[in-house]
A and B are shown apart, each in its own frame.
Chain A
Amino acid sequence: MSTEQKKHHQVLFLDDDRAYLAAAGESFRLLSAEDWQLQTADSADQALQVIKTGKIDLVVLDLDFTDGDQFVSLLHGCYPKLKMAVMTAQPTDKKRSASLAAGAGLFLEKPVSAEGIQSVFKQLCELLQWKPHNGFQGVLRHVGLLELVQMECAGRNSSILDLYREHSLGRIYIEGGEIIHAVCGEIAGERAFQKLLAISGGTFELHDFEQPPERTIYRPWDLILADTARLRELATSQNARGGTGGGGLEYGSNAPAARAMELLICNGTGGKIYGWECPDPAARAAMLQAMAQQAAQIIPDWQLGHFDRLEIALADGRAVLQASADRLVFARFNQSADAA
């Protein structure tokens, strides 16, 4: 038998409802197969005493607790690398934005059922496995890099993202949640950023922030990422129609005049990861899940491999609904008259 001790995750739950703390604590401990060592606190002071020990990996706190957002902000300021998830019984977009802006890594609806607790547990596990600083490496997947940039921006983090495929491909600078500079070969600015985000395959590393040699990007990050999603869709459809040569998509005057109108990215259970101009994320998420179920009914009859997406041609543009085991994506684009 090995004498090496398994490292347990130290998770602190903060909630002023002691009965909930006891019940949820026990549920999460069992779900983690006792991998989580749970601590609980029913006041901010008590929580701070525990956090000061420096041993906590994740704090899960009730947002409806007095001054929840301010406490998240305070913790983020004092412990920028501490992972935090906030839960609330009454989630709204406003609360979500405020919590993520304050430094929370996850915003969740407080679970009231066994299924809900399992879903929340899965998301907390993902957050625990997230390693956003110093030498973190990952393999680029379909939405992996986009998601990473979103998390850095939504968390108002400062970091440098290096991308590799055999050799260095480029670098993205994020300061206080804003994308401020990107370089890809001899190209800099948003065009470089879009080229890097169009790469499939390769690896990335996230490092602590250093000032870039210059600032080349000034637009808000959510607009830049909406354009990224739009360009990715265009690249996919161009490749399907015979391709543009496969060298990534140029960002500039060659792009057809389609405009992103709406974007929603959810995890596999419909939990919102990122939304932009999305009027009803819950309804969209339900639609995505229903679509995935419908697609699953086609698969046994036709044996045409896994489902990728549903494209809908609309009178004034198109919508793309994409479903995989761990991601649901909804994007809507308007097509201007000259591009139609």
Chain B
Amino acid sequence: MKKNLSPWLDQIAVTDGMLAGGVLSTAGKCLYCGDKEKYPSEKIEKLLLQYLSLHAPLPTAEFSPRWTTWQFEYGWFRFVPRPDKLLLLLVVTPGSIAARELDQFAADFLALPL
């Protein structure tokens, strides 16, 4: 996993309302952040690996997402796929600072030189 990804993830992990997060590489390696007791890495990894099946109903010709947000009552999941196949997942509390900054985090992740 690229070196400067980990500091960036650690930096956004402290944002108020950030519950958990992770990045999946093409090699299947994961980086994690967040409350490891409440949101263990296995949970994050499972969801990251579910990305393709979760998004399978979307016709790719029409919906090639820059990012997607699955919104539940008490938590939002933001998935951001990069062209180099890295995949970011952020889990945030709705209405929090982290939720407000999701677009910025996604744009930063896409622009991150790796």
Contacts and interface: CB of A to CB of B under 8 A. Distances in A.
A242 B64 contact: no
Nearest to A294: B54
Contacts of B74: 304-305
B46 interface: yes
Interface string B30-67: 00000000000001001100100110111100011111
9 contacts: A291-B58, A294-B53, A297-B50, A298-B47, A301-B43, A307-B70, A308-B72, A312-B63, A315-B66
B72 A311 contact: no
Given A287-B59, A312-B65, A314-B66, A298 B43 contact: no
B2 to A, nearest CB: 23
Does more than half of chain B's interface fall in helix, strand or loop, or is it mixed?
A: mixed
Interface of A: 240-242, 283, 286-287, 290-291, 294-295, 297-299, 301-302, 304-315, 319
B88 interface: no
A299 B72 contact: yes
Given A283-B59, A287-B58, A312 B68 contact: yes
Given A240-B99, A294-B57, A313 B66 contact: yes
B109 interface: no
A297 B50 CA distance: 10
B46 A301 contact: yes
A241 B69 CA distance: 14
Contacts of B58: 287, 291, 312
B100 A298 contact: no
